[in-house]
Amino acid sequence: MERISWDQYFMAQSHLLALRSTCARLMVGATVVRDKRIIAGGYNGSVSGSVHCIDDGCYVIDGHCVRTVHAEANALLQCAKFGVATDNADIYVTHFPCLQCTKQLIQSGIRTVYYAEDYHNHKYAIQLFKEAGVHTEKVELDYLAVDTNYQEKAKLMESVLQKLEAVDDEEAQILQEQVKKLF
């Protein structure tokens, strides 16, 4: 059996962290790594003790939800809170960082940003990364061990099951049983 690569391992960790997100618009996770060791993780969510988007809806100003602290910022703040240096560390993020997170990553000494998905890649953010000598690299998650679309798939399969129940056919019944075993 082939082992999962380091990039896939850390990106999977970021996708797992994203599942803790409390923003209904976009779930993002970030993992800070130094010398192949995870030193912090974060996801986008509301300020501690405050209302969450999933409970009260997103608070959108100029097209952006301002209720949440971004995943990258939460990971960096976790390092600051516990006195863990981020200089020369790398970060794995599920989505390309926004402009504000880009500036925070540069200021914190992050040397490489690995991201799984493009997301409004701001031209100035790309320029700032280049000027600062921060390498950016797209690393899509190849392994499906972390399914970030599980809830949507489960809802779809539930509607398929309901339609199959209305069909009086042996093949439909076999498909129904297979779906029930998977979910």
The residues carrying an active-site annotation are 72
Pairing outcome for strands 29-34 and 90-95: antiparallel
Quote the CA–CA distance of 2 and 112 in Å, as a whole number: 26
- Rounded Cα gap, residues 130 and 96, in angstroms: 14
Torsion 117-119-124-128 (CA) sign: negative
Q: How far apart are CA 104 and CA 61, in angstroms?
A: 21
Structure token pair of residue 59: 């608070």
Rounded distance between C-alpha atoms, residue 143 and residue 66, angstroms: 32
